[in-house]
Chains A and B, each alone.
Chain A
Amino acid sequence: GIQVEQSPPDLILQEGANSTLRCNFSDSVNNLQWFHQNPWGQLINLFYIPSGTKQNGRLSATTVATERYSLLYISSSQTTDSGVYFCAVLRAGKSTFGDGTTLTVKP
Chain B
Amino acid sequence: GAGVSQSPSNKVTEKGKDVELRCDPISGHTALYWYRQSLGQGLEFLIYFQGNSAPDKSGLPSDRFSAERTGGSVSTLTIQRTQQEDSAVYLCASSSFTDTQYFGPGTRLTVL
Partners in one complex: yes
| A interface list, Cβ under 8 A from B | 30-31, 33, 35, 41-43, 45, 48, 86, 88, 90, 93-100
Work out how many contacts link A and B, with CB atoms closer than 8 A: 49
Is B101 an interface residue when CB atoms closer than 8 A count as contact? yes
Of the A-B pairs whose beta carbons lie under 8 Å apart in the complex, a sample of 27, sorted by A's number, is: A31-B99, A35-B103, A41-B89, A41-B106, A42-B105, A42-B106, A43-B91, A43-B93, A43-B103, A45-B101, A48-B100, A86-B42, A88-B43, A90-B99, A93-B48, A93-B50, A94-B45, A94-B48, A94-B59, A95-B33, A95-B35, A95-B48, A95-B101, A96-B45, A98-B42, A99-B41, A100-B42
Give A29 Cβ to nearest chain B Cβ, in Å. 10
Partner of A99, one of B42, B89, B91, B93: B42
Q: Which residues of B contact A31 (CB under 8 A)?
A: 99-100
Knowing that A42-B106, A45-B102, A48-B99 are A-B contacts, what are 4 other residue pairs whose CB atoms are under 8 Å apart, sorted by A's residue number?
A42-B103, A86-B42, A94-B56, A95-B101
Q: Which residues of B contact A98 (CB under 8 A)?
A: 42
Give B13 Cβ to nearest chain A Cβ, in Å. 20
Query: What's the dominant secondary structure at chain B's contact region?
Result: strand
| B interface list, Cβ under 8 A from A | 31, 33, 35, 41-43, 45, 48, 50, 56, 58-59, 89, 91, 93, 98-103, 105-106
In order of increasing CB-CB distance, the 8 nearest A-B pairs are A43-B103, A97-B43, A48-B100, A99-B42, A31-B99, A97-B42, A93-B48, A100-B42
Q: Which residues of A contact B91 (CB under 8 A)?
A: 43
In the complex, residue of chain B having the shortest beta-carbon distance to the beta carbon of A98: B42
